[in-house]
Amino acid sequence: MSIWKSKISTITPVEVEQRLQSGERLNIIDVREIDEIAEGKIKQARSIPLGTLENRLQDLNREQEYIMVCRSGGRSERACKVMQKNGFKVTNMVGGMLQWNGKISK
């Protein structure tokens, strides 16, 4: 038996935007630092910087699925691994905010 968890699922920024535009309520977590968030984030995203994520897991619901976002997709992939290891259902938004063309809030 492999000690590795299942592969992390991915979603594109375009797919996230389409799902939001269709009215779907998504649980999005942006793991960028506060100064990066200040430049703009997906309106529905909750800010939890990667360095604080493990200490904030008790604030999240393991019954929900989360879409993880960062600047380019690397930190959010690491966040997915942390969350997956702790029993969460997660999807990584590949390309991160660099590829996001939807509305942002500041």
Catalytically annotated residues: 70
Alpha-helix runs per DSSP H in 10-103: 13-21, 34-37, 53-56, 74-85
- The torsion defined by the Cα of 47, 50, 51 and 57, in degrees rounded to 10, comes to 70
CB 36 within 8 A of CB 55: no
* Pairing assessment for the beta strands 46-47 and 28-30 based on DSSP bridges: parallel
Cα–Cα dist 17/15, whole Å: 5
